[in-house]
Each structure stands twice: as structure tokens, then as C-alpha cells.
Amino acid sequence: MERIDISVLMAVYKKDNPAFLRESLESIFTQTVEAGEVVLLEDGPLTEALYEVIKSYQSKYPALRVVAYPVNRGLGKTLNDGLQLCKYDIVARMDADDICKSNRFETEYKWLKAHEDYDVIGSWVDEFTNDKTQVRSIRKVPEQYEDIKKYARYRCPVNHPTVMYRKAAVQAVGGYLTEYFPEDYFLWLRMLKNGCKFHNIQQSLLWFRYSEATVAKRGGWSYACDEVRILVRMLKMGYIPFHIFCQSVVIRFTTRIMPLPIRQRLYNLIRKT
């Protein structure tokens, strides 16, 4: 199997499901190409079941590097520290409950190598609940750089678990800022403002595990306030004009504080395949 010079970066914490972690790791190690290293960050103490899964893959795959942190510090802080540990300049992100399609790394790596002036590559995702063969929806994102810049004014322009990026470009803007949730959106905005070029492959390269908890954690007062804070920063950095700022504050804040059942219906409507 061809070995490619990339680092796969993922984090796990105690509330992750051991069965889901096993599926994620299995999808990483059964790609059409072999990643140079897989950096798995233990964000605080884990459950025994999670430790067992990790140990079983450590014994089989020398490329798996496990880094344990004594306390849970949150995804942004953990990923920033993990980035410094990655020995390759090209880094593929992965979450502990999603599943890569077998050609994901090969497809993204070849695209980046053929387009040296680009910094971030992503793709669509197939969203599923229990069985990945039963896709409930597809999250599509725009393909071309100029369209991605425009789209980013309103919504996150890439699917974070699908991205492969140049480490230097991420670190040049300060990495993930840990005071915001979600951590990735404001990173992409800062990179775009800094002149980084993005592209999204127009096919799904990952199965994204969807549940009611997915929608639940994307709502509430805390999440709504974080989004407003991001919008304020976007306005100050000149990424959005004032009228889009006002429009987005009303739409996003209202949506995030809606009761979960209503927000769930809206999500399902937007996500229809």
C-alpha cells in the first residue's frame, strides 16, 4: 500500500462511544493509502472501554501515536497542542465518531499535491443515524474558492471532519481559538481573511454520525451568544457588511434559542437529500 506523508489528527474524550471510536479508527487504517502517522489525543481520563479500543489498535498499527492529557481541556486547546505534535505539514482532521470512506485520504491528498497554492480541502458528508448505508441527508458545501468565501458569510463553508489542510497555514492565523464554539468556523474565517485558498470536492468522503444530540448541542443560549460574538468579530475584521451582520444576528440567535423540537424540524428540512 502506498504511504503518504500526512498526519491524521483526532481527539477522544470520556463521553465518546467505544464502538464508534473503533469504527472511526478502522476507517482510518483501511484507506486505499496509508497515512504516515495518526495522532490520537486523549483529552482527559477516558473509560476503560475506550482505553481497550485504543490499546487494540496501538498493538496492530505502529503509525498510531497516542498522547494523553491529564485533564479535559476542550477540543480547541487539544487540537492546537496536537497540531504542534504532527510531524507532517499536511494534516487530515478526523472525529472519534465519524467514518471515513476508503478513498478519502487518497482523493484529498492528490488534490492538494496537484494544487500547491491551496491550503484547505474538504468534501460533502453523508449524514446517518444508526446504519451508514441508510443516508438520511447530505451536507453539501460549495466547490470553488470564490463561492466558499461568499458562503462563509452566512454558514460554515467546510465540513470540519472532512478537511485536510496545511499545518503552517492554520498556525499562521493562531490555530483554533478556544473561546468560541464551534471552534472551526472562526478558524476558517480567519484563514480566508488571511488569503488562504479553500476547495470542496463535490462528493461525500465521510459518513457523519447524526443524532438528536447533534442538534441539541448546536443550540441554547451559550451557543447563540458564541455565534453572535463570532459575528461581531466578522464585522470588525471587515468580513461582512453591517446589513449582513444584522440579518445574521437575528436569524442565527433566534434559531439557536428555539425549542429543540422546532430546531430539529428546521434542521431536517434544510438537510433533505
The identity of residue 120, as a single letter, is V
Question: CA angle at residue 176 from 126 to 236, to 5 degrees?
Answer: 105
Distance in angstroms between the alpha carbons of the first and the last residue of the chain: 35
Burial class from Cβ neighbours inside 10 Å (0-12, 13-18, 19+) for residue 240 reads buried
Helix (H) or strand (E) holding 135: strand 135-139
Domains along the sequence of the chain with CATH: 3-210 (3.90.550.10), 211-273 (no CATH)
Euclidean distance between CA atoms 237 and 122, whole angstroms: 24
The amino acid that residue 121 corresponds to is I
CA dihedral 28, 31, 34, 40 (to 10 degrees): 0
- Other Cβ atoms closer than 10 A to 89: 13
pLDDT tens by residue, the chain, 273 residues: 899 999 999 999 999 999 999 999 999 999 999 999 999 999 999 999 999 999 999 999 999 999 999 999 888 899 999 999 999 999 999 999 999 999 999 999 999 999 999 999 999 999 998 889 899 889 999 999 999 999 999 889 999 999 999 999 999 999 987 665 567 888 999 999 999 999 999 999 999 998 666 655 666 777 778 778 888 888 888 888 888 888 888 877 787 787 767 767 766 666 554
pLDDT of residue 193: 93
- Cα distance between residue 94 and residue 12, in whole Å: 10
